Amino acid sequence: MKTSTLMLGIAAIVGAAVGVGAWVANTRQESKAPQQVERAESAPDYQRAVYSPLHFKPAIENATDAQCLACHKEILDSRPRETSPAGIRTQDSKAWYQQLTTYTGEQESFHRRHLTTAFAKQVMDLKCNFCHQGHDPRDEAPGTSATTAPQSDQGFTLRKQVNPETTCLKCHGQMPWENMALPGPWTESKEAFQNNCLICHANIRTIRHQVNYLKPEAIETVGKENGDSCYGCHGGRSWYRISYPYPRHAWPDMPTETPDWAKGRSTESESRFVIPSATAKK
C-alpha cells in the first residue's frame, strides 16, 4: 500500500514537472514568435531575389551600384590569396595587370581593380550595369525558351553573363598599330615617340573619351604625364587578340577621305554611354 502511494506521488510530481516545463517552453516560443516572423519577413528570399526586376531590362538599365551591392557586396570584400597554392607570395611576384607603371598597390580582385583602386577611380566611372545588363536565370543560351533572347539577337554571347564584345573589349583589346602606320608594336616603337601618345594625338582624333564610364579630362591629364596611362587601355592590358572598333568622332581638320580600315565604323558612341554636351568635358 505504501509502495503504491509512493509511486502515485512520484508520478504526480513528474507529471507536474513536465507540465510546468511544457508551459515554460511554450511561453518562450510564443515570446520568440514575433521576432522570428519579423526576421523572416525582412530576410531576402532567394527565389524572389533571383527574379528581381533589377535582373532584367528595362530596370537593370537604371539600377544603381547601391542596389546591386545590397546583395552582391562580396565582390568588393573578396581579396586575392596572400600566398598561392604553389607557395608563391603576392609580395614576391607581379600579376599581369601590375606590369604597367600606372598600377600601384597590392594585388586586387577583378571587381576591385575596376571599381575601387586608385587609378580606376581617377580615370574611370564604371557602374555595375556597364557590364551587367541583366541575367536571365533560366538559361544562358539564346532561343531555348519563350523568355530567353532569340537566336537572331546578335548581342547575346553564348554561356556568358556579360557581352565582352561591347564591354571588356573596349579597354582590353589589342593596339592596332598597323592602322596607325607605326613601325611596330608599341612596346618596340614607343621609344621613338618618347613613350608619348600625344605627339601624334594632340592633333589626331582629338574628340575622344566622351562617354559616361570614363573621366575625359582626367585621362587627358594623366596621358600627358605617362604614356602607360594611354597604352594600358589600348593594348597594354589586352585579353583578346582583336582590337575594339572605336567610333570615329569628327575632329577639327579631319581628313575627308576615310581609310579602308575605318570604313563602316560608327561616328557616334553607343546611346547608353553618351553624355550630354554640356557635361562632355567634365
pTM over 0.95: no
- Given a contact cutoff of 8 angstroms between Cβ atoms, the answer to whether 219 and 123 are in contact is yes
pLDDT band for position 26 (cuts 50, 70, 90): low
CA triple 175-179-185, angle to 5 deg: 45
d(CA 66, CA 84): 32
Cell of 4: 503504491
Question: The cell 582583336 sits on which residue?
Answer: 242
Residue 155 or 6, more confident: 155
- Given a contact cutoff of 8 angstroms between Cβ atoms, the answer to whether 127 and 272 are in contact is no
The mean pLDDT of 54-79, rounded to a whole number, is 94
The 10s digit of each residue's pLDDT in 81-117 is: 999 999 999 989 999 999 999 999 999 999 999 999 9
Nearest to 270 by CA among 236, 245, 238, 252: 245
Query: What are the Cα distances from residue 110, in Å, to 97, 107, 158, 208?
Result: 10, 10, 21, 26
Cell of 233: 587601355
Strand partners, 190: none
19 phi and psi, to 5 degrees?
-65, -45
Which secondary structure element, helix H or strand E, spans residue 124, and what is its range? none
Residue 248: pLDDT over 90: yes
The 10s digit of each residue's pLDDT in 128-141 is: 999 999 888 877 78
Query: What are the Cα distances from residue 55, in Å, to 38, 71, 115, 145, 159?
Result: 26, 12, 20, 17, 16
Residue 37: pLDDT over 70: no
Q: Is 136 helix (H, G, I), strand (E, B) or coil?
A: coil
